Structure 1
Amino acid sequence: MQVLDGFPSIWELGGCCSLRDLVIEPFSGRSLSVDMELFLRKLVTSQTSLTSAVQWNPIPVHCVSVFFSSAVRVFYLLGQLSILFCVSICVLKQSSYPRAISTIPSKFQLKLPSVLFSFKEVNNLCSIALNVPCELESVCDRESEDSDVQNGNSTNDAYKLELSRKDCLTNSNIGNLDTNQPSSFLEETKNSGEDVIMYLEETNEEVLSKRILKLSRQNKPKSALAIYKSMTFSSLKPDLHACNSLLSSLLRNGMLDIALKNFNSMKASGLTTGHTYSLILKAVADARGCNAAMNMFSELISSKNLKEKIDIVVYNTMISIFAKANSWYQAQKIWNILKDNGQVGTIVTYRLLVCTFVRCGQNELAIDAYSELIRNGLSPEGDTMHAIIGAYSREGKYDSALNVLQYMLDNELKPNERACNAVINSLGKAGKVKLSFEVYELMKSLGHAPDAYTWNSLLNALNRANRYSEALQLFERIRNLQSVILNVHIYNTILTSCHRLGLWDKAIQILWQMEASEIPVSTASYNQVIGACEVARRPKVALQVYYRMVRKKHSPDIFTLLSLMRVCIWGSLWNEAVEILKLSAPNGSLYNAAIQGMFLTGKIDLAKKLYTEMRERGLQPDGKTRAMMLQNLPRRSMRNRRRNVQNYKF
């Protein structure tokens, strides 16, 4: 007789007490046999399948019923939300078949369907379990009397038990049983799958792990979860790949709470990898925000047992989470934690850091991350170099930006249009016109068509080098070749060229073109035209532009008024200058410009009048205005000079 790890055999337990003591009485409030309960606990948690247990020879029929009913009670007392019922029944087809009592022929394939029941169906199933031994009680009592239990001899006993297919299915609510399926077939249920446990005929961990993997890939998370729960219940461990695939399937189907519950189970069982933590952290961030993900990450790295499993992939996941939210400060924090824990960043790490810092305007941090990448001996990717070119350009480090561009060309990497434009703009701001046009030619050789940003950068480069005439020539070339890309920035840049050259007529012509093209004309555009009129000493034209500006409902700024004040004074339009002061808000800079201009043009009395008005309005004169007032005091006696000085408030 076989014995399971020191526990008494089913045959021996069958004779230790009456059938009513083992099956019926425990449900009436009496305690279950300790040996039976221990045996059942061991049996249901061991890797020994129920088929093997039933095939122990010899085995009386009522012992199978005893096992079933007692198992119901054990799980019922444990208060599980989902209960496993291992139902051992005969093969059911169109008619009933007798069941072997003493032995089970080798050719007879015992069918053990995997049945899942919710907690609400416990009462019905308990009734089924109790009805079976009641029908057999009289037969089993005679069996107990006539058979030699101690010697295990039951070959002379033959009993028949017939269960109709209809009654079995109606009472138990199992559903249709397909007896053509193999004995290892696992039926899927329509339950939620969260706390479901199934009887596993197959106990090979590798085979079951492959089933979890297959179901997860087929987007069947409930079925995969049921197998996982059943494996853990039976002390079987799925492999790490299957666990990660299950979590991924749950998260894809929006089952975050269930995924978190199983994640905790996997974490306790040591079935986690860096990929596991990455999946969970990303899902938590998407569903509950970056702060929730950061809190979970902090808990993970604070655990000594889990800290070793937090690899660089997990850190990259956290950086990408904050990069998506444009939270550069949190990304920097993860970067510091990474270095403090002795981790070394990968190419992906630095690509995320550099791109995030550049996008958030933290160019210095981006340069630091890129420098660390180079120190670690890593080769930057194209995206990283494109981003760092922008950072160098914004910081005015055109030489470093040009070096990175050259590095890309040396390594047969094609710089994109944005990187070329950034280098051109940086060189143009530094007055490196020749280099700017060389990069422009390189850009065309790479197949990139120049856009509005490219042309504007080249025009600015010419203006910064005081080559305004060449800028006008380039503008005419742009207008002839690509007039559609002309925008307000290009127009304002070329208006600056007209301003410097004093080409007021060209400036006005460009201004009319802007208005005719329905390009929004800004206050800065009008300022450049008025400035061109100032250089050309065209005060009346400047006033006309100013009045048109007001009619277009553009508010003049201080630069507009200063330029207009200077051009009116140099054009001897004194009344217009005074009118501008009256209509504008009190401003010390505007009064200083008017007073100084009138002193220089010989309008001393008007200048003194404006100075007195300025002081009365509470405005402070600058040093140059005070000096001019002192120089133009009347030359009388020292007493009169002191008296005149006292009359003015400096």
Structure 2
Amino acid sequence: MAILSNNFVAGATLSTQFAGCLCAIRSRHLQWLGSVMMHKLSLVSDVKGETSCSNSVRLNESSAVRVVLSTAIPGLICEEEKEEDVVPIENEEIESSFHENGLVPWGGSDFDDFGSALGGVNEGPATSESVVVSQQGVQFLEEMDAEVLSKRVLVLSRRNKVRSALELFRSMELAGLHPNAHACNSLLSSLLRNGLNDNAMRVFRFMKDKTITTQHTYSLMLKAVAHAQGCDSSLRMFMELEEEGLGNKDFDVVVYNTIISICGRKNYWHKCERLWMKMKEDGLTATKVTYSLLISVFIRCGQYELAIDAYKEMVQNGYKPNADISQAIIKACTKEGKSDLALSIYHNMLNNGIEPNLITCNALINSLGKVGKVELAFKVYNITKSLGHTPDAYTMNALVSALYRASRPGDALLLFDNIMREQPSQLNIHLYNNALMSCSKLGLWNRALQLLWKMETSGLSLSTASCNLVISACEVARKPEIALQVYEHMIYKNCPPDMFTHLSLVRSCIWGSLWTEIEEILKQVSPNASLYNAVIQGMCLRGKIDSAKKMYTRMHEKGLKPDGKTRALMLQNLQKS
């Protein structure tokens, strides 16, 4: 038993010594692996020209040993790395980290100088300086397959782990690899989303140098430049890229839509038109989005003809306009007086199950009324009610105005009376003026006075245009005394008369032979050739030749020039005398 016990103790001692030797051997082996990895990294750094630069790649001993340990003993990864793989980096942490590493915000980039900001094609191939490398911004790449690493960059970018994605991107570049276009675009989008615009510009320059840019790349950068530097800088960047010959090769309709949208925000309609023409020259077919952008910009800027042209081309290319486009084009047609085209688009909307809104219906009713198509205007009015819209003051005003323009002032007054009786809340100064125009046309001076009194009692302010219409009604009815009373009421209410007030009043007084009142009016107003012409012509027609001669002489003394009719009447009466 003693012998067995001694053997057992000796065996345990030998096993302990053997385990210690194994540990020492493993430790020396790990130290050797670490020195080898440090040597390899230094060789890579020397090849890339980074050995003497302040931004050189350096891995300290602890990080190198940790990499070796993670390689030699799988599963030996610290908890920080596990957490970094699942916890998104906050924006504050990203910004502070990059500022500490000397990465300036986009304000440091000068987009006014295209060559320095983007790195034109005349520059040499991108080196490691094209992406700023921090002292701890490199990862050891176990995997050397570019596609596998590209997927990792893509996943990190989508998870908003910008720091890890950018470090992996830097490491790939130092190893002579580069991510594919999809991964670069995702990284570019993530950088822009987090406000790291300076780094985004460097990634863009890298992609441009490696010729892996896509249409999505240019769209991202154009929008980013527009946000940071404005529309002009973005447009200048677009034009410079075209001059480099990238336009015909890489620009598609999406890129054009992006720059058109950017210009449209500043209402640069002429630049949008030029881009539209350039698309055609490049053989690109505009999409529905293109036409929607163009129509919106053109209508907002009052370029209705261009909007209609874009709409016609859109229909010719087989695109069906939606409700917004159709209603916008109806507005453009009504502004240009193209009521037939507006009515055709209106019918197409109804046939396609699209309900026009009240504003569109009102615009169409008003447009039809202006060209005398009263029956069609009332048909649209009935359809408007059937769609569930409640006609407003604009609707009723368009209908009353349509009847007046169609030389149906009596019907216009009947419709106005119906509105006053059934929808008094819709009455406004425009409806009253339309009714007063009908009274003036028919010479209904008493009805005009009633409406003027109704306006004042309903709280509407007395306007010069309304009083002029009442005086005009008195002129047609040969009621100069009433016209003078309305004129005095205007002065009392501090409603300033204008030239049309005095002209109508003078003509009314001529028919009533109120010459004294005419003299008083001429004394109160500043000398005006139209007034003197009206007075002289009225005197000649009423047989007051001597008074006409005196007024003609006074007119010349005041330096006023008579019109052709006045001169003809004076010559005719001088020959008779």
Aligned to 2:313: 372
Query: Is residue 322–residue 331 contact of structure 1 (8 Å, CA) maintained in 2?
Result: yes
Query: Is residue 393–residue 423 contact of structure 1 (8 Å, CA) maintained in 2?
Result: yes
Aligned to 1:85: 59
TM superposition shift of 1:310: 0.6
Aligned to 1:198: 138
TM superposition shift of 1:284: 2.1
Structure 1 residues 539, 379: closer, same or farther in 2, change over 3 A?
same
Match of 1:592 among 509, 533, 541: 533
Query: Is residue 30–residue 65 contact of structure 2 (8 Å, CA) maintained in 1?
Result: no
TM superposition shift of 1:597: 1.1
Corresponding residue SS for 2:274: helix
Corresponding residue SS for 2:250: coil
* AA at the equivalent of 1:199: Q
* AA at the equivalent of 2:262: I
Structure 1 unaligned runs (5+)?
1-53, 93-98, 113-176, 637-650
Number of matched residues?
510
Q: Give 1 or 2 for the bigger CA radius of gyration.
A: 1
TM superposition shift of 1:609: 1.4
Following the alignment from structure 2 to structure 1, what is the Cα–Cα distance between the partners of residues 88 and 397? 70
Following the alignment from structure 1 to structure 2, what is the Cα–Cα distance between the partners of residues 61 and 216? 30
Aligned to 1:476: 417
Structure 1 residues 90, 305: closer, same or farther in 2, change over 3 A?
closer
* AA at the equivalent of 1:251: L
Following the alignment from structure 2 to structure 1, what is the Cα–Cα distance between the partners of residues 220 and 203? 13
Following the alignment from structure 2 to structure 1, what is the Cα–Cα distance between the partners of residues 71 and 341? 82
Query: Is residue 403–residue 409 contact of structure 2 (8 Å, CA) maintained in 1?
Result: yes
Aligned to 1:326: 267
Match of 2:189 among 230, 237, 248: 248
TM superposition shift of 1:88: 5.2
Query: Is residue 184–residue 200 contact of structure 1 (8 Å, CA) maintained in 2?
Result: no
Query: Is residue 71–residue 85 contact of structure 1 (8 Å, CA) maintained in 2?
Result: no
Aligned to 1:181: 82
- Counting only pairs closer than 5 Å after superposition, residues 8-407 of structure 1 correspond to structure 2 as 59=32, 62-64=35-37, 66=39, 77-81=51-55, 83-85=57-59, 87=61, 108-109=73-74, 178=79, 181=82, 191-192=97-98, 194=103, 195=132, 196=134, 197-201=137-141, 203=143, 205=146, 208-219=149-160, 221-407=162-348
Following the alignment from structure 1 to structure 2, what is the Cα–Cα distance between the partners of residues 346 and 255? 32
Corresponding residue SS for 1:181: helix
Q: Does 231-240 or 387-396 show the bigger shift? A: 231-240
Query: Is residue 184–residue 201 contact of structure 1 (8 Å, CA) maintained in 2?
Result: no
Structure 1 residues 415, 70: closer, same or farther in 2, change over 3 A?
same
What are the Cα deviations for residues 39-70 of structure 1, in whole angstroms up to 9, with x where unaligned?
Answer: xxxxxxxxxxxxxxx99999466545655777
Following the alignment from structure 2 to structure 1, what is the Cα–Cα distance between the partners of residues 495 and 197? 55
Query: Is residue 184–residue 202 contact of structure 1 (8 Å, CA) maintained in 2?
Result: no
Match of 1:491 among 425, 432, 440: 432
1:574 aligns with 2:515: yes
Following the alignment from structure 1 to structure 2, what is the Cα–Cα distance between the partners of residues 256 and 584? 68
TM superposition shift of 1:435: 0.4
Corresponding residue SS for 1:353: helix
Aligned to 1:462: 403
Query: Is residue 111–residue 179 contact of structure 1 (8 Å, CA) maintained in 2?
Result: no
Structure 1 residues 235, 359: closer, same or farther in 2, change over 3 A?
same
Aligned to 1:444: 385
What are the Cα deviations for residues 410-435 of structure 1, in whole angstroms up to 9, with x where unaligned?
Answer: 22222222222222111101111100
* AA at the equivalent of 2:179: P
TM superposition shift of 1:322: 2.1
Runs in 1 of length 4+ with deviation above 6 angstroms?
A: 54-58, 68-75, 104-107, 182-189
TM superposition shift of 1:379: 2.4
Structure 1 residues 182, 256: closer, same or farther in 2, change over 3 A?
closer
Following the alignment from structure 1 to structure 2, what is the Cα–Cα distance between the partners of residues 443 and 500? 30
Query: Is residue 34–residue 61 contact of structure 2 (8 Å, CA) maintained in 1?
Result: no
Match of 1:422 among 360, 363, 367: 363
Following the alignment from structure 1 to structure 2, what is the Cα–Cα distance between the partners of residues 522 and 383? 37
Structure 1 residues 258, 607: closer, same or farther in 2, change over 3 A?
farther
Following the alignment from structure 1 to structure 2, what is the Cα–Cα distance between the partners of residues 281 and 509? 64
What are the Cα deviations for residues 366-413 of structure 1, in whole angstroms up to 9, with x where unaligned?
Answer: 222222223323322322221221222222221111111111222222
1:542 aligns with 2:483: yes
Q: Does 614-623 or 80-89 show the bigger shift? A: 80-89
Bigger helix share:
2
Structure 1 residues 398, 239: closer, same or farther in 2, change over 3 A?
same
Following the alignment from structure 2 to structure 1, what is the Cα–Cα distance between the partners of residues 464 and 288? 47
Query: Is residue 471–residue 494 contact of structure 1 (8 Å, CA) maintained in 2?
Result: yes
Following the alignment from structure 2 to structure 1, what is the Cα–Cα distance between the partners of residues 88 and 352? 58
What are the Cα deviations for residues 334-365 of structure 1, in whole angstroms up to 9, with x where unaligned?
Answer: 11111111111111112222222222222222
- Counting only pairs closer than 5 Å after superposition, residues 595-606 of structure 1 correspond to structure 2 as 595-606=536-547
Following the alignment from structure 1 to structure 2, what is the Cα–Cα distance between the partners of residues 414 and 582? 60
Corresponding residue SS for 2:79: coil
Q: Does 547-556 or 372-381 show the bigger shift? A: 547-556
What are the Cα deviations for residues 440-480 of structure 1, in whole angstroms up to 9, with x where unaligned?
Answer: 11112122222222212111110011111221222233234
What are the Cα deviations for residues 572-591 of structure 1, in whole angstroms up to 9, with x where unaligned?
Answer: 22122122222222221111
Query: Is residue 562–residue 593 contact of structure 1 (8 Å, CA) maintained in 2?
Result: yes
Match of 2:496 among 551, 555, 560: 555
Following the alignment from structure 2 to structure 1, what is the Cα–Cα distance between the partners of residues 195 and 468? 58
Following the alignment from structure 1 to structure 2, what is the Cα–Cα distance between the partners of residues 186 and 87? 26
Corresponding residue SS for 1:621: coil
Structure 1 residues 386, 60: closer, same or farther in 2, change over 3 A?
closer
Corresponding residue SS for 2:236: helix
TM superposition shift of 1:529: 1.9
Following the alignment from structure 2 to structure 1, what is the Cα–Cα distance between the partners of residues 483 and 176? 91
Report the RMSD for the aligned CA atoms in angstroms. Answer: 3.5
What are the Cα deviations for residues 515-547 of structure 1, in whole angstroms up to 9, with x where unaligned?
Answer: 444444432222212212222222232223223
Structure 2 unaligned runs (5+)?
1-26, 104-131
TM-score, reference length from structure 2: 0.79
Query: Is residue 76–residue 83 contact of structure 1 (8 Å, CA) maintained in 2?
Result: yes
Query: Is residue 502–residue 535 contact of structure 1 (8 Å, CA) maintained in 2?
Result: yes
Aligned to 1:147: none
TM-score, reference length from structure 1: 0.70
What are the Cα deviations for residues 86-115 of structure 1, in whole angstroms up to 9, with x where unaligned?
Answer: 6455888xxxxxx99xxx999734868xxx
Following the alignment from structure 2 to structure 1, what is the Cα–Cα distance between the partners of residues 364 and 34? 88
Aligned to 1:161: none
Following the alignment from structure 1 to structure 2, what is the Cα–Cα distance between the partners of residues 229 and 408? 56
- Counting only pairs closer than 5 Å after superposition, residues 513-552 of structure 1 correspond to structure 2 as 513-552=454-493
Query: Is residue 90–residue 110 contact of structure 1 (8 Å, CA) maintained in 2?
Result: no
Structure 1 residues 201, 379: closer, same or farther in 2, change over 3 A?
same
